[in-house]
Amino acid sequence: MQVRSPAQQAVDLSLFLYDRPLHPELFTHHADYRVEQSRYRADIWILGLSHLVTVSSGPLVLTELVYRDSDVLPTRGVLTRFRLKGERDHERTSDDDLRYMVSSQVEMMDEPLYKSVHNDLLRHASKRGWLYTYDQWAEGDLAPFSYIDHEARDGEFHIHAFHAFPQERTLIKSQSIFELPPT
């Protein structure tokens, strides 16, 4: 059974951290990316105003999922789960010493500020990172989008994710770091 990706609302999203990969057939993928370093591999899926990042290094695996809560999401392997609202910082170290840190923010803005931030992010995304716009969900002159930027270091993988909800004038931002144990 596949989880659908309709035009969702920002208030519907939660952050999940799993100690395992998730099956691709659970989601509708709008875009997939892979980053390979000498010590790890990162798979990034844009899932419709949400995302999934799996970092694996041999048997070590952590998966960050920003998505709406659903009965079809696996419960096995969940290390962390919380609804995205306001600002939140969270750290977690797996049993295998794979460290995860995230800072998330749900920012609601007035219309002029939202338009400015929306357009600034689109300009930035045209130069760096991965952008997926959802023109089919647009109401008015601004389309929702997911924008993901990353930085791959030898023992760390950094993700900056932005999910734009123009109808709500809301931006969901997260900055995550996956840190491998020292060698």
Residue with the bigger pLDDT between 45 and 8: it is 45
Does 2 fall in a domain?
Answer: no
Checking if the pLDDT of 52 tops 90, the result is yes
pLDDT tens track for 106-121: 999 999 999 999 999 9
Stretch 3-21: mean pLDDT, rounded? 80
Amino acid at 174: S
Residues 15 and 174: beta-carbon distance below 8 Å: yes
Checking if the pLDDT of 1 tops 60, the result is no
Tokens of 111: 């219309």
Residues 82 and 14: beta-carbon distance below 8 Å: yes
Strand order in the sheet with 51-57: 31-36, 41-46, 51-57, 60-68, 13-18, 78-83
Whole-angstrom Cα distance, residue 148 to residue 131? 6
Checking if the pLDDT of 4 tops 60, the result is no
∠ CA 56-3-77, rounded to 5°: 40
Does 5 fall in a domain?
Answer: no
What are the backbone dihedrals phi and psi of residue 28, each rounded to the nearest 5 degrees, phi first? -90, 115
Does 1 fall in a domain?
Answer: no
User: What rounded mean pLDDT belongs to the chain?
Assistant: 92
Whole-angstrom Cα distance, residue 169 to residue 50? 16
pLDDT for residue 7: 57
pLDDT for residue 3: 41
pLDDT tens track for 56-93: 999 999 999 999 988 789 999 999 999 999 999 999 99
Number of separate domains in the chain: 1
Whole-angstrom Cα distance, residue 76 to residue 23? 12
**Domain range for residue 119?**
10-179
DSSP state of 70: -
Stretch 38-43: mean pLDDT, rounded? 97
Does 3 fall in a domain?
Answer: no
Does 4 fall in a domain?
Answer: no
Residue whose entry in the numeric block shows the structure tokens 């219309």: 111
Does 48 fall in a domain?
Answer: yes
∠ CA 54-58-62, rounded to 5°: 30
Does 61 fall in a domain?
Answer: yes
